[in-house]
Amino acid sequence: MNDTFASYPSAGTSVSFQTGQGGLPMLAVWTPASVAHIYLHGAQVTHFQRRGEQPLLFVSAQSQFAEGKAIRGGIPVILPWFGAREGKPSHGFARLHAWQLSEIRTLPGDQVRLVLRLPECPEAAEWPQFEAQCAVTVGDRLAMELSVSNTDPARTLDLQTCLHTYFAVGGITQVEVRGLKDVGYLDALENLAPKTQTEDPMRFAEEVDRLYVNTPHAVEITDHAWHRVIRVEKEQSLSTVVWNPWIAKSQRMPDFSDDEYLRMICVESGNMSPNALTVAPGAQATLRVRLSTRPA
């Protein structure tokens, strides 16, 4: 097990600034129940681990920790668009900028809440004016809240948001995903062909890239290798993506090792087309996700 508790206090809660990989600033958070790492770059959680458990999140050993580059793993914050756009960075520009820490607060139950705000970005000039903040709560479970406010006095904000979570697993062929039976999805491997999932649970033996629509409910990942169940609960989210690149795509990605598909599964929560958001002037859209574990 990757034991990140050795240098941390055994009781109480604490937050410290540290120099992370690539020299990027990182917040290390520890509580009596867990440890988390949050990079200002992209407001990205890269590590969460409960005491006595394997890490919850996967980060590629080949990930680039550098300004202007996306971190491959953890929980990338995706906005204001999802996926590819010609001449634009994939999954929007928010994950490529350093966010600003605006609040640290302790909560009941030995929890710590941190709030980060997206600074002004040159890429946002062509968009209606908006403000974004990401709150991370660390305790016995990990919770995130992504809020986007349309501050433009006249224009609506057409928006896609996603918390693109990479989960660490003991072995992808021993993973089952439940909660998506009879749900419609768009198959990205077949030009977004509309389909309906019939299998339950969902198992993995090849590349999978599916965008499930109209899915406000929780999804569970059973990891038989590590004998645990990961529960993904969410609010104000109608889209769920399940992704594993498998062999060929892993070999094509420069920031991903050839065999790392064996140790991860993405189950992403958000509001992506056709569940994209339209936020009126003065209104706010908030996406909440809670991640917890229990023995399998």
Residue 218: CB atoms within 10 Å = 15
Distance CA 94, CA 100 (A): 12
CB 177 within 8 A of CB 219: yes
Sign, CA torsion 94/158/211/194: negative
Which tokens in the block code for residue 241? 């993506």
Sign, CA torsion 118/122/124/129: positive
Which residue is catalytic, options 164, 207, 217, 227?
164
CB 188 within 8 A of CB 107: no
Distance CA 231, CA 20 (A): 28
Is 164 an active-site residue? yes
CB 120 within 8 A of CB 240: no
Is 41 an active-site residue? no
Distance CA 251, CA 8 (A): 37
Distance CA 216, CA 18 (A): 36
Distance CA 215, CA 236 (A): 10
Distance CA 42, CA 168 (A): 20
Q: Which residues are catalytic, by number?
A: 164, 268
